Amino acid sequence: MKPITPTQWGFLKRYQRTLDSKECLSKRFGEDCCDGRIVCAHMIPRSQLVQIAEQGHVHAVPTRLSPIAQMKRSGFAAEDVGIGNFSTLQCFCARHDKILFAPLEDVALTFTREQLTLLHYRAMAAEVYIRGNAEDAAVGEARKYLSTDPRRESFYEAFQIQSLAAVAAEEHFKRTEKMINLSRYDEIRAAIIRFDATPVLLSVCAFRPLYDVIGTKLQDFSEEAAYIGMHILAVDKRPAVVFTWLKAQKPSQRFAKSFCLQPYRQLTTLAVQMAFEYAEHTCMRRQWWMSISKGRRANLLNRVEMANEAAFIPDEDFLSFEFLIDDWKCRSIDFVK
């Protein structure tokens, strides 16, 4: 195993600084009146994290570039992370973070249309922030080389991939923000799957589904690609998987329906597999993670490793059911139309 060279460390530090940029997305796409102080906003609320934390920590795969680079040499692994540092992005000012998400933070989660819209908005905010900063970081590195320099090619390819995703995410994000600004939530659609178990895993993400869970092609990646939000949360001290999308986003609707049509006993495994494939913001109770067989853990970590490849595109079999990881006992599935 080759060590990371000083030159590579320097690149990782430069790249991470760009990915850690501070910006209030509400100011970028509409509202002003920021208080000027960008905060580390939790994508998964602290009130959720404490429900699975052990001694103030959750278990998760590190997401910063330095540990990822090391794991690519030694193998991907999960470790304890303090709940104050997990799932935080610097993409909202203190004022907007407090005002925007008060209906999620200050009252019980009952999945009103407003709450579903805000869940979707926050997941899309994370996607916009990550994709946009990755695009900026890639183009910044590419500009350091002449067009004939072969070292430029990998950064330029990464820029093209991230640019396409950033455009699609920003358009979707702006549409969601407009709904919030107008206090009109009738365009949100959702599938809510409730389970009867003790919460052990939390996850938040938004992604463009290329295939559904049985391998049927849904769409191609483009500037108009449909997005879906996925949220694994604790509600009334029980797990719930929630898919959110906007009206007329047919690929997203078909993805959610394909998930809900699978046998109840497979839904937990499918949700966990998706969390490890798509979601940077995924954490679990350490005791639960260690209760899974070593082979099953390796399979899930392999999904994280592949998802961290710059040019990774899931194939039609990647999300399909493989083996039972757990069964949280699905008790209801409801659609918000």
Residues across the chain? 337
> What average pLDDT is seen over the chain?
83
| Integer CA distances (angstroms), 76 to 62, 79, 129, 295, in order | 9, 10, 24, 13
- Determine contact, residues 321/270, Cβ cutoff 8 Å: yes
| Integer CA distances (angstroms), 12 to 54, 64, 132, 248, in order | 31, 9, 17, 40
Q: What residue ranges do the domains of the chain occupy?
A: 188-336
pLDDT-derived band at 157 (thresholds 50, 70, 90) equals confident
Q: What's the average model confidence in pLDDT over 84-109?
A: 85
Determine the Cα–Cα distance for residues 327 and 197; give it in Å rounded to an integer.
9
Residue owning tokens 């990646």: 221
Q: Angle at which helices 65-74 and 6-19 pack, to 10 degrees?
A: 130
Q: Does the pLDDT of residue 14 top 70, yes or no?
A: no
Determine the Cα–Cα distance for residues 205 and 212; give it in Å rounded to an integer.
16
| pLDDT tens-place string over residues 264-319 | 999 999 999 999 888 778 999 999 999 999 988 888 888 777 765 655 566 666 56
Looking at the DSSP assignment, which residues form a beta bridge with residue 206?
Answer: 229
User: Which are the contacts of 215, defined by CB distance < 8 A and separation ≥ 6?
Assistant: 316, 317, 319, 320
Q: Does the pLDDT of residue 33 top 90, yes or no?
A: no
The two three-digit tokens of residue 63, written as one number: 């997401």
Q: What is the pLDDT of residue 28?
A: 58
| pLDDT tens-place string over residues 136-147 | 777 676 777 777
Q: What's the average model confidence in pLDDT over 241-247?
A: 97
